[in-house]
Amino acid sequence: MLVTRGFKGKRRGGDADRLRLPPGQFLTPEFPVLTAGPTQQTQIDRWTLALQHGGSLLGKWSWEQFEGLPQTEITSDIHCVTKWSKFDTRWRGVTIDDLLRAAGLDAAPTGFLMAHCDGGYTTNLLVADLIGARAMIATHFDDLPLLPSHGGPARLLVPHLYFWKSAKWVRRLAFREEDSPGFWESQGYHLRGDPWREQRYEGDQ
């Protein structure tokens, strides 16, 4: 089958690509692995995902239960704060909206969220950045189960923020009223990390 690619895909490095790159980023066809510490080897039969609000548990899913939730595909560009960007990455998983619905919530709690991972990595987020089909718990990349190096069996995906917010091996999402820094944020990175506003470091507007 002959597939004709759209105008955008034709000229790598052309004007269309440059407009698509946030300031200070360069385009790579690679998929680099960036992890602080060792790759986690999480066993599916021991995996659970928990949703918390303050001290209380809103929901908890085993792998089997999680696989039964509505699946969504997202194709998006991703941007790492170390300046590589990758276009058109294809993911499948469960949107945060669907996760909230599965927990029986009509609306997301207001405020903030901390994502907690196997291995101890954390990252803080605005709840507003997670809803409206802009974020998911991703289990597949390019139709294949997510490799451990890229956060498999499941990672948070928030592609409109710098990629450090997309927490690999995520296991617990904790809603909270106050914001506080996660792992990289407490080492000088920005609390929100919008690549289009170049919010790389603490103090960037």
* Least Cβ distance, residue 81 to Mo ion (angstroms): 5
Among 137, 167, 173, 174, binds ligand MTE (CB under 6 A): 167
Cα 202 to Cα 27, 187, 190, 193: the distances in Å are 25, 9, 4, 9
200 near ligand MTE, rule: CB under 6 A: no
173 near ligand MTE, rule: CB under 6 A: no
31 near Mo ion, rule: CB under 5 A: no
- Compose the 74-113 pattern: x for residues touching ligand MTE by CB under 6 A, - for all others: ------x---------------------------------
Nearer to ligand MTE, 80 or 131 (CB): 80
> Which tokens is 182 given?
């996660």
Rounded Cα–Cα distance for residues 9 and 88 (Å): 10
Chain-centre distance for alpha carbon 19 = 23
Among 11, 33, 34, 142, binds Mo ion (CB under 5 A): 34
123 Rama class: left (phi>0) / alpha (psi -120 to 50) / beta: beta
80 near Mo ion, rule: CB under 5 A: yes
Phi and psi at 18, nearest 5°, equal -65, -40
> Which tokens is 76 given?
């998006």
Among 22, 59, 111, 119, binds ligand MTE (CB under 6 A): 119
What is the contact surface with Mo ion in residues (CB under 5 A)? Answer: 34, 80, 164
